[in-house]
A and B are shown apart, each in its own frame.
Chain A
Amino acid sequence: NAGVTQTPKFQVLKTGQSMTLQCAQDMNHNSMYWYRQDPGMGLRLIYYSASEGTTDKGEVPNGYNVSRLNKREFSLRLESAAPSQTSVYFCASRVSANQPQHFGDGTRLSIL
Protein backbone atom coordinates (compact mmCIF):
# COMPACT_ATOMS: atom_id res chain seq x y z
CA ASN A 1 0.00 0.00 0.00
CA ALA A 2 1.94 3.02 -1.29
CA GLY A 3 -0.41 5.78 -0.08
CA VAL A 4 0.24 9.02 -1.96
CA THR A 5 2.98 8.88 -4.60
CA GLN A 6 4.50 12.00 -6.14
CA THR A 7 6.81 12.14 -9.14
CA PRO A 8 9.39 13.43 -9.67
CA LYS A 9 11.07 13.94 -6.28
CA PHE A 10 13.47 16.58 -7.59
CA GLN A 11 13.45 18.77 -10.69
CA VAL A 12 15.42 21.73 -11.99
CA LEU A 13 13.87 23.86 -14.71
CA LYS A 14 14.83 26.94 -16.61
CA THR A 15 12.57 29.98 -16.60
CA GLY A 16 9.85 29.58 -19.21
CA GLN A 17 9.95 25.78 -19.35
CA SER A 18 6.85 23.78 -18.60
CA MET A 19 6.37 20.63 -16.60
CA THR A 20 3.75 18.49 -14.90
CA LEU A 21 3.98 17.16 -11.37
CA GLN A 22 2.22 13.85 -10.97
CA CYS A 23 0.31 12.60 -7.94
CA ALA A 24 -1.45 9.29 -7.45
CA GLN A 25 -3.16 7.75 -4.43
CA ASP A 26 -4.26 4.16 -3.93
CA MET A 27 -6.53 4.67 -0.91
CA ASN A 28 -9.74 5.34 -2.87
CA HIS A 29 -9.83 8.88 -1.47
CA ASN A 30 -12.29 11.38 -2.88
CA SER A 31 -10.45 14.65 -2.22
CA MET A 32 -6.99 15.59 -3.46
CA TYR A 33 -4.87 18.70 -2.90
CA TRP A 34 -1.76 20.45 -4.14
CA TYR A 35 0.24 22.63 -1.73
CA ARG A 36 3.46 24.56 -1.89
CA GLN A 37 5.78 25.00 1.09
CA ASP A 38 8.19 27.93 1.26
CA PRO A 39 10.64 28.87 4.03
CA GLY A 40 9.00 30.88 6.80
CA MET A 41 5.50 30.27 5.49
CA GLY A 42 2.90 27.68 6.22
CA LEU A 43 1.69 25.25 3.61
CA ARG A 44 -0.39 27.11 1.05
CA LEU A 45 -3.11 25.53 -1.04
CA ILE A 46 -2.68 25.87 -4.80
CA TYR A 47 -5.64 23.85 -6.09
CA TYR A 48 -7.85 21.11 -4.77
CA SER A 49 -10.32 18.57 -6.07
CA ALA A 50 -13.15 17.78 -3.68
CA SER A 51 -14.22 14.82 -5.79
CA GLU A 52 -13.52 13.24 -9.17
CA GLY A 53 -14.51 15.63 -11.93
CA THR A 54 -14.21 18.84 -9.89
CA THR A 55 -11.33 21.22 -9.26
CA ASP A 56 -11.19 24.54 -7.41
CA LYS A 57 -8.66 27.26 -6.82
CA GLY A 58 -6.91 27.58 -3.52
CA GLU A 59 -4.94 30.44 -2.03
CA VAL A 60 -2.16 30.71 -4.65
CA PRO A 61 -3.40 29.35 -8.03
CA ASN A 62 -1.74 31.84 -10.40
CA GLY A 63 0.71 30.23 -12.79
CA TYR A 64 -0.64 26.70 -12.23
CA ASN A 65 -3.23 24.39 -13.76
CA VAL A 66 -4.52 21.06 -12.53
CA SER A 67 -6.19 17.98 -13.91
CA ARG A 68 -8.11 15.37 -11.95
CA LEU A 69 -7.49 12.62 -14.45
CA ASN A 70 -9.49 10.02 -12.53
CA LYS A 71 -10.17 9.22 -8.89
CA ARG A 72 -6.54 8.17 -8.30
CA GLU A 73 -4.60 10.88 -10.11
CA PHE A 74 -4.31 14.64 -9.69
CA SER A 75 -1.63 16.45 -11.68
CA LEU A 76 -0.23 19.98 -11.35
CA ARG A 77 1.10 21.79 -14.42
CA LEU A 78 3.40 24.77 -14.65
CA GLU A 79 2.92 26.20 -18.15
CA SER A 80 5.76 28.74 -18.04
CA ALA A 81 7.92 28.29 -14.96
CA ALA A 82 9.11 31.36 -13.04
CA PRO A 83 11.76 31.61 -10.30
CA SER A 84 8.99 32.54 -7.83
CA GLN A 85 7.66 29.00 -8.26
CA THR A 86 10.78 27.51 -6.73
CA SER A 87 9.36 25.58 -3.81
CA VAL A 88 8.59 22.19 -2.34
CA TYR A 89 5.28 20.87 -3.63
CA PHE A 90 3.13 18.43 -1.69
CA CYS A 91 0.18 16.44 -2.88
CA ALA A 92 -2.36 15.20 -0.32
CA SER A 93 -5.57 13.22 -0.31
CA ARG A 94 -8.32 12.26 2.09
CA VAL A 95 -11.44 10.18 1.96
CA SER A 96 -13.72 13.05 3.03
CA ALA A 97 -13.56 16.58 4.43
CA ASN A 98 -13.91 15.24 7.97
CA GLN A 99 -10.87 12.99 7.87
CA PRO A 100 -7.12 13.66 8.12
CA GLN A 101 -5.11 14.33 4.98
CA HIS A 102 -2.43 11.90 3.78
CA PHE A 103 0.61 13.55 2.20
CA GLY A 104 3.08 12.50 -0.44
CA ASP A 105 6.82 12.85 0.12
CA GLY A 106 7.03 16.11 -1.82
CA THR A 107 8.66 17.37 -5.02
CA ARG A 108 11.56 19.79 -4.64
CA LEU A 109 11.40 22.12 -7.66
CA SER A 110 14.04 24.71 -8.52
CA ILE A 111 13.58 27.21 -11.33
CA LEU A 112 16.65 29.05 -12.55
Chain B
Amino acid sequence: KNEVEQSPQNLTAQEGEFITINCSYSVGISALHWLQQHPGGGIVSLFMLSSGKKKHGRLIATINIQEKHSSLHITASHPRDSAVYICAVPNSGGSNYKLTFGKGTLLTVNP
Protein backbone atom coordinates (compact mmCIF):
# COMPACT_ATOMS: atom_id res chain seq x y z
CA LYS B 1 0.00 0.00 0.00
CA ASN B 2 1.20 3.47 -0.81
CA GLU B 3 2.03 5.57 2.24
CA VAL B 4 1.29 9.30 2.09
CA GLU B 5 2.83 11.92 4.34
CA GLN B 6 1.80 15.57 4.32
CA SER B 7 3.57 18.47 5.98
CA PRO B 8 2.95 20.58 7.82
CA GLN B 9 -0.13 19.30 9.65
CA ASN B 10 -1.16 22.85 10.55
CA LEU B 11 -0.19 26.13 8.96
CA THR B 12 -1.14 29.67 9.96
CA ALA B 13 -0.35 32.55 7.63
CA GLN B 14 -1.07 36.22 7.22
CA GLU B 15 -3.07 37.40 4.24
CA GLY B 16 -0.82 37.88 1.25
CA GLU B 17 1.81 35.33 2.24
CA PHE B 18 3.09 32.61 -0.10
CA ILE B 19 2.03 29.15 1.12
CA THR B 20 3.65 25.78 0.47
CA ILE B 21 2.17 22.41 1.47
CA ASN B 22 4.16 19.24 0.86
CA CYS B 23 3.21 15.66 0.08
CA SER B 24 5.48 12.61 -0.11
CA TYR B 25 4.52 9.07 -1.08
CA SER B 26 6.26 5.72 -0.99
CA VAL B 27 5.35 3.90 -4.21
CA GLY B 28 5.69 5.19 -7.76
CA ILE B 29 2.42 6.45 -9.21
CA SER B 30 0.75 7.51 -12.43
CA ALA B 31 -0.96 10.61 -11.01
CA LEU B 32 -1.41 12.53 -7.76
CA HIS B 33 -4.47 14.41 -6.55
CA TRP B 34 -4.81 17.59 -4.50
CA LEU B 35 -8.17 18.27 -2.85
CA GLN B 36 -9.62 21.06 -0.72
CA GLN B 37 -12.09 20.76 2.14
CA HIS B 38 -13.57 23.84 3.81
CA PRO B 39 -14.53 23.49 7.51
CA GLY B 40 -17.74 21.51 7.77
CA GLY B 41 -17.90 21.35 4.03
CA GLY B 42 -17.58 19.07 1.09
CA ILE B 43 -14.44 18.03 -0.74
CA VAL B 44 -13.38 19.54 -4.05
CA SER B 45 -10.73 18.25 -6.41
CA LEU B 46 -8.16 20.95 -7.18
CA PHE B 47 -5.59 19.17 -9.34
CA MET B 48 -4.72 15.82 -10.79
CA LEU B 49 -1.18 15.76 -12.12
CA SER B 50 1.28 13.19 -13.37
CA SER B 51 4.30 15.38 -14.18
CA GLY B 52 5.60 18.93 -14.05
CA LYS B 53 3.35 21.72 -12.91
CA LYS B 54 -0.28 22.82 -13.12
CA LYS B 55 -1.70 26.26 -12.31
CA HIS B 56 -5.23 27.39 -11.56
CA GLY B 57 -5.58 30.98 -10.48
CA ARG B 58 -3.41 31.51 -7.41
CA LEU B 59 -2.89 27.78 -6.88
CA ILE B 60 0.10 25.94 -8.32
CA ALA B 61 0.80 22.22 -7.98
CA THR B 62 4.13 20.62 -8.81
CA ILE B 63 5.27 17.04 -8.80
CA ASN B 64 8.66 15.32 -8.92
CA ILE B 65 8.07 11.70 -9.88
CA GLN B 66 11.67 10.65 -9.22
CA GLU B 67 11.64 12.16 -5.72
CA LYS B 68 8.05 10.91 -5.03
CA HIS B 69 7.13 14.38 -3.86
CA SER B 70 4.55 17.02 -4.68
CA SER B 71 3.95 20.56 -3.47
CA LEU B 72 0.89 22.77 -3.48
CA HIS B 73 1.61 26.50 -3.52
CA ILE B 74 -0.81 29.35 -2.90
CA THR B 75 0.31 32.81 -3.97
CA ALA B 76 -1.08 35.98 -2.35
CA SER B 77 -3.04 33.94 0.21
CA HIS B 78 -6.48 35.12 1.30
CA PRO B 79 -8.68 34.22 4.28
CA ARG B 80 -11.02 32.36 1.91
CA ASP B 81 -8.13 29.94 1.23
CA SER B 82 -8.51 28.70 4.82
CA ALA B 83 -9.31 25.00 4.47
CA VAL B 84 -7.87 21.53 4.78
CA TYR B 85 -5.73 20.54 1.79
CA ILE B 86 -5.49 16.82 1.10
CA CYS B 87 -3.07 14.89 -1.07
CA ALA B 88 -4.07 11.49 -2.52
CA VAL B 89 -2.26 8.86 -4.60
CA PRO B 90 -3.21 5.50 -6.13
CA ASN B 91 -3.23 2.80 -3.49
CA SER B 92 -0.66 0.47 -4.94
CA GLY B 93 0.99 2.39 -7.72
CA GLY B 94 -0.76 0.33 -10.39
CA SER B 95 -4.52 0.61 -10.53
CA ASN B 96 -5.93 4.09 -10.05
CA TYR B 97 -9.28 2.82 -8.79
CA LYS B 98 -8.36 3.02 -5.13
CA LEU B 99 -6.71 6.07 -3.60
CA THR B 100 -4.76 6.50 -0.38
CA PHE B 101 -5.31 9.90 1.23
CA GLY B 102 -3.01 11.96 3.40
CA LYS B 103 -4.28 13.22 6.74
CA GLY B 104 -4.49 16.75 5.38
CA THR B 105 -2.95 20.12 6.13
CA LEU B 106 -5.13 22.63 7.97
CA LEU B 107 -4.42 26.09 6.58
CA THR B 108 -5.62 29.20 8.39
CA VAL B 109 -5.08 32.55 6.70
CA ASN B 110 -5.61 35.54 8.95
CA PRO B 111 -6.64 38.96 7.61
Report the contact-size class of chain B (Cβ under 8 Å from the partner).
20 to 34
Majority SS at the chain A contact face: loop
Task: Please choose the segment from A17-25, A68-76, A77-85, A94-102 that sits at the chain B interface, where 4 or more of its residues have CB less than 8 A away.
Answer: A94-102
Whether the Cβ atoms of A101 and B96 lie closer than 8 Å is: no
Q: A31-B97, A43-B86 are in contact. Are A99 and B48 (CB under 8 A)?
A: yes
Checking B4, B99, B104 against A45 with a beta-carbon cut-off of 8 angstroms, the contacting residue is B99
A66 within 8 A of B: no
Taking Cβ atoms with an 8 Å cutoff, the residues of B that contact A are 4, 30-31, 33, 35, 41-45, 48, 86, 88, 95-104
Query: Which residues of A line the B interface, CB within 8 A?
Result: 31, 40-45, 48, 50, 58, 90, 92, 97-106
Q: 11 interchain pairs (CB within 8 A)?
A: A40-B103, A41-B103, A43-B88, A48-B97, A48-B98, A90-B42, A97-B95, A98-B96, A100-B33, A101-B45, A103-B43
